[in-house]
Structure 1
Amino acid sequence: MNSPFLNRRKAAPFLFFLKHYLFWVLVFFVQRLVFVLYYCDSFSKAGSTRLVQSFAYGLRLDLSMAGYFAVIPLLLFIVQQFTKAAFFRKTVRIYTWVLLMVTVLISGGDLGIYENWGVKLNYRAVSMLAHPAEAMETSKSAPLSLLFMIMLAEIIIAGFLYRLVLSRMNMPTGKSTGNERISYAAQLITIAGLIFLSIRGGWQQIPINESTAYFSSFPVANHAAVNTAWHLSSSFLKNRFSGQKNMYTYLPEREATERVNDLYGTGGGDSTLLVLTQQRPNIVFIQLESFTADVIAELGGDTGVAPNISKLVKEGILFTDIYASGVRTDQGIIAMLSGFPAQPQTNLVNQPEKIEHLPFLSLALKNENYHNAFYYGGELGFGRFNTIAYRAGFDRIVGLKDFSDAGLFNKWGADDKSLFDKYIKEMQHPAEPFFSYIITSSSHEPFTVPMPTVFEGSSRNEQFKNACYFTDRSLGAFFEAAKQTGWYKNTLFVLAADHGHHLPRDRRFNEPARYHIPLLLFGEVLKADYRGKKIGGTGSQTDIAPTLLKQLQVKDTAFKWGNDLLNPGRKAFAFYTFDDGFGWLSAKDTLIFDNRAKRLMYPSEGVAGLQSDSILTTGKAYLQLLYDAFLKY
């Protein structure tokens, strides 16, 4: 009967930390339940069994996060034993409520971004807070009132749990007796060991990581299991050290290099199709915001969303199997202007010093006496467009500040009609040859555009299609106006999307169709034999710059991550990245690999064979060398 664990006063430290763990596990249970209920439609496909499993598989990460939260109370209790001031209970109460508010905000932010991004709240999403205006506009696509009510409900429930579990704990002060202090010391050593084990996830050789929570081929079930606070903390730490160590070292460097170099061979000889009537045409490159292939009828998308692009297809060259490198605009612009693929977990544009080392299509053209101009209707600080534009050698850089008299604005700045009108107005008598890079924005969330509704309905799908229709209509007016200029007949127009979108067909965050985008060449400088042609063969945004330079017969070996799309002898493939994984596409193969779970998401492990193993090894080699290049920039 002298055991300290049978005496409530003597066992107070152990009981407190036991209940502290219980409190946080219950809080995380509530937040996971909210996630499951909020995305119940996704779980209807995954099934009720996986729903229950997500709670079970998530428990270890919950305990790990609770362990991190318990470190400060442990240190405070140790200090309490050496002073008579009774500060422990009050300090821990404040500490707990601060953490609670933070975790509730994290939970709400996770709900808000998951639908659009298909990933848990991460470093990349939080880094957008450096641009509060753009972050606010992105958030407007989410039901903020509902999210606020959910977070309020979580706080109320957590408050009830706090009163039920922790508030009545009577922790002793420094006035404890000698025997009690011996008991406390023994318990604190035990508690410290248990906290360490819970943080580490057990005695196993490798500390716990998120793959522990991955158990299903349904991403939403895995994401529900992953503790959001743990994931965000891990994401911050990984990005903090992302510039120091390659997180994706799979193969010996020589083997990885041989595999990747083989991807850019042409089998000997140069059989490029030269499709232009002149060697130095003007080039107008139009980067289309979120223009997924799902809104382009000729690519199997919904009909009637982009009728003007359909008209251009009849007179241009449409590449039918092109894929975005990543999921964000700043990834797309780097892939298309620099030919450098997107990286998982981190983003090259967040480290401006690396931008200085990139090649740029505009710089290569400037060396050929092209006059460069950059047009964007929004704030140039978003996505570090200003940093990119200046480094890329653009002579004229237009942003939101230049549209004070535009008249019509969307939530991101000047709407696409105003953007194109300004371009035409300023380009009446330009010096030739010129290269212009135009970035649209009206088809970005929250999809508010200055035109009558075309696609009736209140769902996000209809709103998205209306916004795309407005951009397409603005494009139609732009080309009609461009035809009246003296430079039109000498100009090659390039239209490509910065990335795909989960709308309007509710694409999953990692499926290839979400990355499928249009790439169209158009203009009177195209040879007659190639007008109206559709060219297949899997390709990527990173192939665009090398392809254009090849057509201009400009030799530039700096674009090492791209193939010539008009060379029939090229290796046709596409590589794209998501939160912490990649997809690999070719004419015969499709592969999706989740690096966090360390396994194939497609094809499933039961279906994957020797061919999949070889492709996976090549994909890993590609990611390894890509990240090596990222680190060296």
Structure 2
Amino acid sequence: MKKIFLSRYGLLLSTIIIYIITSFLIRLTLSIISFHNLDGHVYNMLCTFAIGLCYDITVALFIITFYNVYLLFFPTRFIGSIADKILTFFILIVTLFITYFSSIAEFPFWDEFGSRFNFIAVDYLIYTYEVIENIKESYPLPLLIGGLLLLVVLTLFLLNKKKIFQAVFTYKMPFKKRLVASSALLATTVLLGVFLTNKNAEFSKNTTVNELSKNGIFSFFAAFRSNELDYDTFYLTLPQHSAYTILKKELVQENQGYVSTDFDAISRITNGNWQPVQYPNIILVTIESFSAEFLSAFGNKKNITPNYDSLANESIFFKNMYATGTRTVRGMEALTLSVPPTPGNSIVRRPNNKNIFSIGTVLKEKGYQLNFIYGGDGYFDNMNTFFGGQGFDIIDRDRGNPLSDNIDTQRFPIQDNEVSFENAWGICDEDIYKQSIKNADSEFQQNKPFFQFIMTSSNHKPYTFPNGKIDLPQGNRDGAVKYTDYALGKFINQAKTKPWFKNTVFVIVADHCASSAGKWEINIEKHRIPAIIYNLNHQNTQIDRLVSQIDLMPTLFGYLNWNYQSSFYGKDINQTKIGDERAFIGNYRTLGLLKGNIFTQLNDKKRVTQFRWNERSKTMSEVKDTSNRFLITQTIACYQTASERFKKGRMKEKQH
């Protein structure tokens, strides 16, 4: 073995070993950090490290492929020359730096999402400004880069001490021998690359165990290849007629009737009740990562949300609401389109998402002016294109990205002199609320109702905000939550001084929870969010019935007694029969429906699993009872039809 390392291929083999050892240490450390989410079975942990080793070897082989080809074709007579040494050291230093950097990067990603790199990481690569600035603001970048370079230098020192470099630059290995060695490595690399997939790591029902089995770099490129998931290819399906028959029974409410008798037509007329119809201004505030667990109403003792807690006591307060997904674009999708979270990317980020039937469609028919207000550059996550495509005017931070202007609507960039504080994700919440009030003042002068969709960002890492506002330090989640709450309270108090306040309803809801990691593929409790409807005729009530984000706006329209045509999957909870409540919850690949205490889960292996959800203990146990078969077909019908309707353009306004 020592002879192999003291050869022309010694450095290549050393790099493979270094990568495998580094990956093992990362996996071991993440296992220790996530011990509370593991099932504790020794066999599963052994499988985790054994399967992980296969991924690590595969990635190591891919990493050294370029160097492998270099060793094969570099002329024998020039081995040990200045050119050979310069090229070899350059390749090695870059390889080592990437290895160590990607390994370190896994820790903050794991902390945030409880998984290896997935296509969240792929998405973030598109938006370099936000990502680079976030890294700079969240971590001591010079110290981090210096530490990585020091680690690279230390590795070079150890390799030199073991006389690896001496062997590499003196061993005049003939081309035929190099051809055999390089071909064997390349063949193994190709075979592993073709036959090994990320699904091979999913041997356990414990999602944390499965994620630990994976390799970050491998997962990253696997996500890059499978950014979109075709429902019919990867999930269980029903005959189209059956799927729509089930769906139409599920969607229709007592105050609704279908427009068409066609089996696949879901558009229906919604009739308000006998009470007077109202057309108040509506301000929808979507708060970044605002988990229910932050509120005192859900047991939090830290008093970090006093303003939201106070507003909840004066509002229609939804205490049993669930976010459909784990990212901002999923929350936006749910609140605007009122559809289940179809697999793959959010509709907000997909092409061909213009003029979809949405709350904007209903609001425009009622004469509302629509505005999307965001403190960052709305180019991020395709927000401007999506909201512009639904008829919203855009108010966002202009960072000079020409693609941000490529929208068919008016755009009003937030100017530098209107910003008191800004980080990677945009201006602070106080500043975004100032934009809301400025816009509301302007719209009020036009004497027509207005609707604002506000997306906040202060409760996002790096958790920075203006100094002197609250009594908690920056840089941690509790501080960011308390500042977010402070800014919200200040906004409401300022709004109360305006002439438009008495005729303005505030809908305040989270986009998703602060994290979604846990033992199960979908951790239900990590999707629970708060929502309130404030200043609606001084109504003060608590809704404990099960709802998800897609039900929020249809419920508001019900309170306003509107008649309108709808193809929403969301329902007015006040028109929903007892026992028919449900919540859609998903996470890119896994799709679920919670009804009662049964959670039905579909995955992209055409499998279905059902769990019994214990809300008191926050645990799930698998159910084998076949009496829940109807919930399976109902879950399939909802997700299958939603996916089919978007794919075929049937969500469009004129085709709904």
Q: TM-score when scaled to structure 2? A: 0.77
Q: Which residue of 1 aligns with 2:551?
A: 543
Give matches, 1:214-613, under 5 Å: 214-239=202-227, 242=228, 247-254=233-240, 255-266=242-253, 278-302=277-301, 304-351=303-350, 353-395=351-393, 397-399=395-397, 401-406=413-418, 408-411=420-423, 412-428=425-441, 429-430=444-445, 431-450=447-466, 452=468, 463-502=476-515, 510-525=522-537, 531-550=539-558, 551-559=560-568, 561-569=569-577, 571-591=580-600, 595=604, 608-610=624-626
> Mean alpha-carbon deviation: is it higher for 510-519 or for 401-410?
401-410
Question: Are 2:286 and 2:510, in contact at CA under 8 Å, matched by a contact in 1?
Answer: yes
Change (3 A) 1:297 1:330: same
Aligned to 1:3: none
Corresponding pairs, count: 601
Provide the C-alpha distance between the structure 1 equivalents of 2:271 and 2:497, rounded to a whole number of angstroms.
Answer: 33
What does residue 408 of structure 2 align with?
Answer: none
Q: Distance in 1 between matches of 2:202 and 2:561?
A: 49
Using the TM superposition, give the Cα deviation of residue 142 of structure 1 relative to its aligned residue in structure 2, in angstroms: 4.8
SS at match of 1:519: strand
Letter in 1 for 2:234: Y
Deviation at 1:129, TM superposition (A): 3.2
Give the match for residue 55 of structure 1. Answer: 49
* Cα drift, residue 520 of structure 1: 1.1
Q: Which residue of 1 aligns with 2:616?
A: none
Distance in 2, Cα, partners of 1:171 & 1:602: 63
User: Hey, what's the Cα distance between the residues in 1 that align with 2:5 and 2:466?
Assistant: 65
Alignment deviations for residues 530-584 of structure 1 (CA, whole Å, 9 cap, x no partner): x22112322222223333444452423343x322222122832222222532343
Amino acid at match of 2:492: F
Secondary structure class of the residue paired with 1:291: coil
**Structure 1 Cα separation of the partners of residues 611 and 10 of structure 2:** 41
Deviates most, 72-81 or 544-553: 72-81
Aligned-partner Cα distance in 2 for 1:507–1:417: 37
Q: What secondary structure does 2:290 align onto?
A: coil
Corresponding residue SS for 1:493: strand
Counterpart CA distance in 2 for 1:147 and 1:591 is: 44
> 2: distance between equivalents of 1:119 and 1:345?
16
Distance 1:161 1:48, change over 3 A: farther
| 2:34 is the counterpart of 1:42 | yes
Secondary structure, counterpart of 1:556 in structure 2? strand
**Does 2:200 match 1:212?**
yes
SS state at 1:355 partner: coil
Cα contact 1:280–1:552 (8 A) shared by 2: no
Residues 43 and 51, structure 1, Cα contact 8 Å, conserved in 2: no
Q: Per the alignment, do residues 89 and 591 of structure 1 end up closer, same or farther by CA in structure 2, a change over 3 Å counting?
A: farther
> Partner amino acid for 2:107?
L
Shift of 1:169: 5.1
Q: Which moved more, 1:280-289 or 1:581-590?
A: 581-590
Are the counterparts in 2 of residues 362 and 372 from structure 1 also a CA contact under 8 Å? Answer: yes
Task: Quote the Cα distance in structure 1 between the aligned partners of 2:271 and 2:163.
Answer: 72
Q: State the 1:293 CA deviation.
A: 0.8
Give, in whole Å, the separation in 1 of the partners of 2:64 and 2:276.
71
Partner letter of residue 582 of structure 2?
F
Identity %: 22
- Secondary structure of 1:427's counterpart equals helix
Amino acid in structure 1 at the alignment position of 2:56: D
DSSP 3-state at the match of 2:120? helix
Instruction: Read off the aligned partner of 1:349 and give its amino acid letter.
Output: V
TM-score between both structures, scaled by the size of structure 1 = 0.80
The one-letter amino acid of 1:418's match is D
The change in CA–CA distance for 1:449 and 1:65 in structure 2 (over 3 A counts) is closer
Contact 2:349 2:383 in 1 (8 A): no
Amino acid paired to 1:263: E
CA change 1:17–1:545 in 2 (3 A) is: farther
Match for 1:125: what amino acid?
A
Quick one: structure 1 residues 393 and 269, their matched pair in 2 at CA, closer, same or farther if it must change by over 3 Å? closer
Q: Check whether the contact 1:318–1:521 (CA below 8 A) recurs between aligned residues.
A: yes
The farther-off stretch of 96-105 and 532-541 is 96-105
Contact 2:291 2:530 in 1 (8 A): yes
Q: What residue in structure 1 maps to residue 617 of structure 2?
A: none
Instruction: Name the CA distance, whole Å, in 1 between partners of 2:529 and 2:133.
Output: 24
Offset at 1:468? 2.3
CA-to-aligned-CA distance 1:279-331 (integer Å, 9 cap, x gap): 32221211122211112223444462222222222332112221112222222
CA–CA separation in structure 1 for the residues paired with 2:592 and 2:420: 39
2:536 and 2:189 map into 1 onto residues whose CA distance is 70
Check whether the contact 2:436–2:452 (CA below 8 A) recurs between aligned residues.
no
Tell me how far apart the structure 2 counterparts of residues 25 and 594 of structure 1 sit (CA, whole Å): 35
Q: Aligned equivalents of 2:14 and 2:41: distance in 1? A: 25
The CA distance in 1 between the partners of 2:187 and 2:642, in whole Å, is 40
Q: Is the 8 A contact 2:10 2:164 kept in 1?
A: no
**What is the rounded CA distance, in whole Å, between the counterparts of 1:274 and 1:148 in structure 2?**
64
Q: Which runs of 5+ in 1 are unaligned?
A: 1-5, 201-206
Counterpart code for 2:320 = D
Contact 1:17 1:70 (8 Å CA) reproduced: no
Name 1:119's counterpart in structure 2. 115
- The one-character-per-residue Cα deviations of 1:48-96 (angstroms, maximum 9, x if unpaired) are 9465543222122223334444655665666569x97769998677555
How far off its partner does 1:231 sit? 0.9
Q: Secondary structure at the match of 1:354?
A: coil
With 398-407 and 157-166 compared, the bigger mean Cα shift is at 157-166
Partner of 2:130: 134
Q: Name the amino acid aligned to 1:30.
A: T
RMSD of equivalent CA atoms: 4.2
Q: Deviations over 1:482-517 (max 9, x none)?
A: 2333322222221111111139x9998841222111
- Structure 2 Cα separation of the partners of residues 578 and 78 of structure 1: 44
Change beyond 3 A, Cα 1:25–1:524: same
For 2:496 and 2:357, how far apart are their aligned partners in 1? 32
